[in-house]
Amino acid sequence: MKVSFWGVRGSFPVCSPEHTRYGGNTPCVEVASNTESVLIDAGTGIRLAGKSMVERGQKRIALLLSHTHWDHIQGLPHFEPLHCPDTKISIHSIRRDNRSLHDIVFEQQRSPFFPISLDDVQAELTFIEHDDGESFDIGDIRVLCKRLNHPGIAAGYRLECDGSVFAYICDTDLYGEKLQYADELSDTATAEERLACLEELRQGARDLGHSADLIVCDTFFLPDEFEPEWGHSTPDDAIRLATEAQAKRVGLFHHRPGRKDDQLDALVERYRKRTNGSLEILACREGLHLTL
Amino acid sequence: MWGTRGTIPTPEAENGRYGGNTPCIEVRSSEDDLLILDAGIGLHWLGDELMMNSFGGGEGRGHILVSHTHWGHIQGIPFFLPMLISGNRFSIYGTGGADSFKDLLLEQMASYYCPVPNFFDDNIGALTRIEEIDEREFDIGSTRVTARRVNHVPDVVTLGFRIEDAAGGSLAYIPDVEYLEQEHRDQTLELAAGVDMLIHDAHQTTDEYPARRGRGHSSVQDAIEIARQAQARHLVLFHHHPDRSDSAIDDLLRSCDSVGLRVDAAREGAEYTL
């Protein structure tokens, strides 16, 4: 299994000389087996992934969306394979209650927001929504989809192939006390019921990351920056999850826009010292290719 | 200049000098009125700087002129911190064409796209007035603003702006335009006549243009010709193509050496006094 990082930044693309080493493009990660290529999220990094896929002649592409906040879909209109004939692109997300994935993605690319409608692209598009906890296959890659704790509806994914496991757990507040979709629970839900729901989400994240070779995890906040309303995690949360899930390696991801290259260097060094080698920690950067 | 890139932010290192942020230009009048041209991602960084002065304390006043609603020109609004500070006041001017301009801006903030609070609501953050305009002249402080339709792509009504300061100094801002007919040139010529600075779409090189005709953008050659005809004193090439690296923009500028007109390529961080 090969993992390539095309975009690692959270919230919005950051164009600054102090951010170029880790990169300023919003999330896009490619996971490839010998036969399949799966992209996760369509931040601005997908523009670079698309160029590479066209060069490689990739004609069958699956795109898994964690959720539809801008930073995870804004690159899609600039994804070159959309404009290639004989190309099939399947777009996946967790099932949404109110508005279909198809409508949300089409709306992004409708006039007067973008000049080329998805109706007019050359690739054949399919939209597939999955239930919480559903497993499905993309060629030889086995995928598990689980709901995460983020405003609206977000999902994480576990991908298995060639005996390796990769987990993508972003965006989410892993161990915070706020249930981000409390609005959907009935007004009569008790505090205990909400807590049970939170624990279920935490167990879902552990299931995604169980014995993974690499967990890529939302680490938008540092502990002293934490905002309970936002639905994001800290490196401490990511390390706790990786430890509980018995993962081999954890990748800090979805870096906050203000976080500069030097600060990320120092941050990852600090956490490595703290865990004292019990867990391998890396800070994900654009252009990084790993073989699991 | 806070953002000079067309279409999509391009953070890659090879774009670092001219910059990867989508369009946003800060204009200060002789009376220190704040006019902001377009609300691409560059707006976020302008916002950070504004927060260090009166906007941080909720005493700022700004005017945002939006050329059109393609994403690259509005995507900075949800990340513009001064709008989260109560006491600040903003006016946003633009057109939605057949749609309501306000509804289009609100759609960008819909909860399934954007988790930040809807600060167009008067009870949240700054007081923000969204003003639907079309072809119109109006005053902002010591400046006179002229808005005119220019030809871009059929799906979106696009405005160009001319800004003249009562104390002297004038500029025309035409970030997205294509000249398919003489009428389209006349629209720009009216806005740009005799200006000190013409900031103009140069999305395509002269060589690329024929294959991309009809996609709503100008070539460098178009920009030079219109600047000459309008007798603009200074041409700034703007809205760089996402694939145009710093060195490609350098080459492009060198090709303009002998045109007998002052030509610059818009660069993030550049400041001019007119």
pLDDT score of B117 = 82
Q: Which of B20, B111, B216 sits opposite A115 (nearest CB)?
A: B216
Show me where the domains of chain A are located: 2-291
Q: What span, in angstroms and rounded, lies between the C-alpha atoms of A222 and A279?
A: 19
pLDDT score of A276 = 87
SS3 A242: helix
In a domain? residue B274 = no
Question: What are the CA-CA distances from residue A197 to residues A202, A205, B36, B126, B220 (Å)?
Answer: 9, 13, 46, 36, 58
In a domain? residue B151 = yes
Chain A: nearest CA to B20, how far in angstroms? 5
Question: How many residue contacts between A and B have a Cβ separation below 8 Å?
Answer: 105
Q: Cβ distance A40 to A3 under 8 Å?
A: no
Chain B interface residues (partner A, CB cutoff 8 A) = 5, 7-13, 15-16, 19-21, 41, 44, 68-71, 75-76, 78-79, 96-97, 99, 104, 107, 111-115, 153, 155-157, 215-216, 242, 268
Chain B: nearest CA to A198, how far in angstroms? 20
The matching CATH number, chosen from 3.40.190.10, 3.65.10.10, 3.60.15.10, 1.10.10.10, for A2-291 is 3.60.15.10
Q: Cβ distance B230 to B192 under 8 Å?
A: yes
Q: Which of B8, B153, B242 sits opposite A115 (nearest CB)?
A: B153
Q: Is the torsion defined by CA of A47, A53, A56, A59 positive or negative? A: negative
Residue with tokens 């915070």: A176
Q: What is the DSSP string of B220-237?
A: HHHHHHHHHHHT-SEEEE
Q: What span, in angstroms and rounded, lies between the C-alpha atoms of B123 and B117?
A: 11
pLDDT per residue of chain A (292 residues) written in tens, 0 to 9: 999 999 999 999 999 999 999 999 999 999 999 999 999 999 999 999 999 999 999 999 999 999 999 999 999 999 999 999 999 999 999 998 778 999 999 999 999 999 999 999 999 999 999 999 999 999 999 999 999 999 989 999 999 999 999 999 999 999 999 998 766 666 677 888 889 999 999 999 999 999 999 999 999 999 999 999 999 999 999 999 999 999 999 999 999 999 999 999 999 999 999 998 889 999 999 999 999 9
Chain A interface residues (partner B, CB cutoff 8 A) = 9, 11-17, 19-20, 23-25, 44, 47-48, 68-70, 73-75, 77-78, 96, 99, 104, 107-108, 111-115, 151-152, 230-231, 257
DSSP code of residue A153: -
User: Residue B246's domain spans which residues?
Assistant: 13-265
CB contact (8 A) between residue B112 and residue A104: yes
CB contact (8 A) between residue B8 and residue A12: no
Percent of chain B beyond pLDDT 90?
95
Q: Is the torsion defined by CA of A127, A131, A136, A142 positive or negative? A: positive
Q: What span, in angstroms and rounded, lies between the C-alpha atoms of A108 and A73?
A: 8
Q: Angle B106-B42-A9 (CA atoms, 0-180°, nearest 5)?
A: 85
Chain B: nearest CA to A94, how far in angstroms? 13
CB contact (8 A) between residue B111 and residue A11: no
CB contact (8 A) between residue B11 and residue A14: yes
Q: How many CB atoms lie within 10 A of CB B164?
A: 19
Q: Which of A19, A111, A114 sits opposite B11 (nearest CB)?
A: A19
pLDDT score of A277 = 86
Q: What is the CATH number of the domain that holds B238?
A: 3.60.15.10
In a domain? residue B232 = yes
Nearest CA in chain A to B110: A69
Q: Which residues of A touch B99 (CB under 8 A)?
A: 112
Q: What are the pLDDT digits (tens) for B25-84?
A: 999 999 999 999 999 999 999 999 999 999 999 999 999 999 999 999 999 999 999 999
What are the structure tokens assigned to A166, written together?
A: 């990769």
What's the whole-model pTM score? 0.97
What are the structure tokens assigned to A176, written together?
A: 């915070």
Chain B: nearest CA to A194, how far in angstroms? 21
Chain A: nearest CA to B109, how far in angstroms? 10
Residue A115 CB partners (closer than 8 Å, separation 6+): B70, B153, B155, B156, B215, B216
CB contact (8 A) between residue A17 and residue B16: yes
Chain A: nearest CA to B239, how far in angstroms? 15
